[in-house]
Structure 1
Amino acid sequence: MVFVFWHFMYRDIGRFSADDERLASFDANALAAFSPGAPHGRAHVVHFWNPDCACNRFNRAHTLSIMEDYRPLGVTFSVAVTHSRHQESALQRFPQAKEVIVAADIDNTSSPASAVFDALGQLVYFGPYSEGAFCADDDGTPVELMLDELLNTGHATPG
């Protein structure tokens, strides 16, 4: 019985990046292309979405909630997908997003993930939406903390 519980609860858990070497040598400038909102002087969030990732079924409501809460405050949103065939589906699932970006080179990054840019286009956060094994959607996740800091002070300490 314990094995069955373990199998269903933990089978989809994995590292944020399957390539630890790539993560260790990560260049934040590589994500600059994902920040179309920055020239407009607004914070910008890119939601990395892969429909084949099991965790997305739990995260969608939380992602939509973030978009609905922060878009009226001037934050812009984009969705990055791994293949052009996912563009239409992403637009339907995330109607608050300004655009959908095809980024085939993000296949090794865990999904759902997010990149938060400040108003100058500087990356202040890149990683999962929550810390923990269960795709938690409670308040105070890294994305919300970074956005709150950006909106309240105009800058954020990269995390």
Structure 2
Amino acid sequence: MSTTSNTPHKPSAKELVIGLSVLLWLTLTLLGLWWFQQQTLRPFIAPEDDARLWQAQATEALFQTALQQLPADSSDVVLLHFWNPDCLCNQVSQRHFNGILEAFNDAELSVIAITSEHTSAAQIAEFNRLNGQRMTLLQIPAAQLPLSASPGLALFNRVNGEYRMGYFGAYGFGALCSVANDDFFPNIIRNLQRGPYGPFMNVAGDGCFCSWEP
């Protein structure tokens, strides 16, 4: 009659090394995520930012400098995308931005990237090389347009020959700049295409943002 041993299995040295390696990898990954969040999580509008950015009418007035520089053939709906090339948070909002570009063509939506006076000539040249067919880039000093954070956006539609603001704020909040519905911004743009809409201010919250001024 055969017997079965109840002696517990003792892990080999190789198994211990593999287990410790996996544990170390998980620990480093969690520490990396924590560090990333600590470095990038901030309010979309910080206490030191321009207080006018909390008020829709005042914010709309701040964008007049940018709106006066729009190409003559701009569509009735315009997206102003706040672009800081050195911001790590661009990656987490890129999904929302790409979804907007895929949903609307040039005739339906003009996309204008706004960058600060500190963006280098090399970065501007690279941007134009990659995006020149779809986007226009405006370099505007902070004294003329005191934005708070990047990434972010403003949406305008042309009403009686003048652009009126429909949306201003973040692509999303939290560490991943998420929104509950991926069709959130396309829906706003469709509403703007039908006529006046908003303005909708989405500025109260913390997320993955970089200060507009270094």
Larger strand share, 1 or 2: 2
Query: Shift of residue 22 of structure 1?
Result: 4.4
Query: Shift of residue 60 of structure 1?
Result: 2.8
For residues 86-105 of structure 1, what are the structure 2 equivalents within 5 Å? 86-95=123-132, 97-105=134-142
- How many Å separate the matches in 2 of 1:27 and 1:8? 30
Per the alignment, in what secondary structure is the counterpart of residue 169 of structure 2?
strand
- How many Å separate the matches in 1 of 2:197 and 2:133? 24
Task: Give the TM-score normalised by the residue count of structure 1.
Answer: 0.78
Tell whether the 8 Å contact from 1:78 to 1:98 is kept in structure 2 after alignment. Answer: yes
Query: Shift of residue 93 of structure 1?
Result: 4.3
Q: Counterpart in 2 of 1:115?
A: 154
Q: Identity across aligned pairs (percent)?
A: 24
Query: Shift of residue 123 of structure 1?
Result: 1.1
Per the alignment, in what secondary structure is the counterpart of residue 11 of structure 1?
helix
Q: From 14, 30, 41, give the equivalent of 1:13.
A: 41
Tell whether the 8 Å contact from 1:125 to 1:158 is kept in structure 2 after alignment. Answer: yes
Tell whether the 8 Å contact from 1:64 to 1:94 is kept in structure 2 after alignment. Answer: no
Q: Counterpart in 1 of 2:53?
A: 23
The residue type equivalent to 2:65 in the other structure is A
Shift of the 96–136 alpha-carbon distance from structure 1 to 2, 3 Å rule, reads farther
Computing the radius of gyration over CA atoms, which structure comes out larger, 1 or 2?
2
- How many Å separate the matches in 2 of 1:90 and 1:101? 11
Query: Shift of residue 79 of structure 1?
Result: 0.6
Query: Shift of residue 6 of structure 1?
Result: 2.6
After the TM superposition, list the runs of 4 or more consecutive aligned residues in structure 1 that deviate by more than 4 angstroms.
Answer: 37-41
Shift of the 39–99 alpha-carbon distance from structure 1 to 2, 3 Å rule, reads closer
- How many Å separate the matches in 1 of 2:45 and 2:87? 13
Count residues with an aligned counterpart: 157
Shift of the 24–127 alpha-carbon distance from structure 1 to 2, 3 Å rule, reads closer
Shift of the 126–64 alpha-carbon distance from structure 1 to 2, 3 Å rule, reads same
Per the alignment, in what secondary structure is the counterpart of residue 134 of structure 2?
coil
For residues 48-63 of structure 1, what are the structure 2 equivalents within 5 Å? 48-63=82-97
CA deviation map 1:54-75 (0-9, x unaligned): 1102223432331232125611
Q: Counterpart in 1 of 2:103?
A: 69
- How many Å separate the matches in 1 of 2:63 and 2:35? 35
Per the alignment, in what secondary structure is the counterpart of residue 45 of structure 2?
coil
Larger helix share, 1 or 2: 1
Q: Which runs of 5+ in 2 are unaligned?
A: 1-26, 201-214
Task: Give the TM-score normalised by the residue count of structure 2.
Answer: 0.61
Query: Shift of residue 110 of structure 1?
Result: 1.2
Q: CA RMSD in A?
A: 3.0
Q: Counterpart in 1 of 2:3?
A: none
Q: Counterpart in 1 of 2:192?
A: 150
Which shows bigger deviation, 19-28 or 60-69? 19-28
